Amino acid sequence: MWLTVIVFTAALAAQEAPAAPPGASHYTRIDAAFACAGATDASAFPALAREGFHAVINLRTAAEEGADIDGARAAAEAAGLRFIHIPFSGASPDPAVLDRFLAAVSDPANQPAYIHCHSANRASAAWLVKRVMIDGWPVARAVDEAGRLGLTSDTLKAFAIQYVAAHGRL
């Protein structure tokens, strides 16, 4: 029995996580339906389409350096991807943004979805909320996963936890 466990564990360890498409930073393929990332150059969109993504959910604000929302939209659409722009300010987060995010990730037409911001902080905070509100995860488990995805901001973590608490999920 131990040999079986060792062989199985070795086989899992040998499997590599999907590589980030060129032009994507802080990329994590979460499951078959979602990936979370940081800054993503528009040149990555054709590769995302080839990987089977149907939508790009961009959480960057238009005022961010290097965001180029219009260029990203055009590149995504040229690659055959839906482009969903939900500006999420890390400095002054708004619960309405999370409402829009939850609606976008819940729509099967948007799956698989590639979710990104600049550093993966806001994408991970929004993902934390999705895990609790939609998937029914306990907050501690969702916080742990969000940390592995790139959530380092205590402000955004507190905002996400306040959001789920306000919705009776704490």
Residue 28 burial (CB < 10 Å; 0-12/13-18/19+)? buried
pTM of the model: 0.88
d(C-alpha 164, C-alpha 158), whole Å = 10
Contact yes or no for 123/47 (Cβ under 8 A) = no
| Upstream peptide bond of 87 is cis (omega within 30 degrees of 0) | no
Domains of the chain: residue spans and CATH: 20-166 (3.90.190.10)
Residues 17-67: pLDDT tens digits? Answer: 568 888 899 999 999 999 999 999 999 999 999 999 999 999 999 999 999
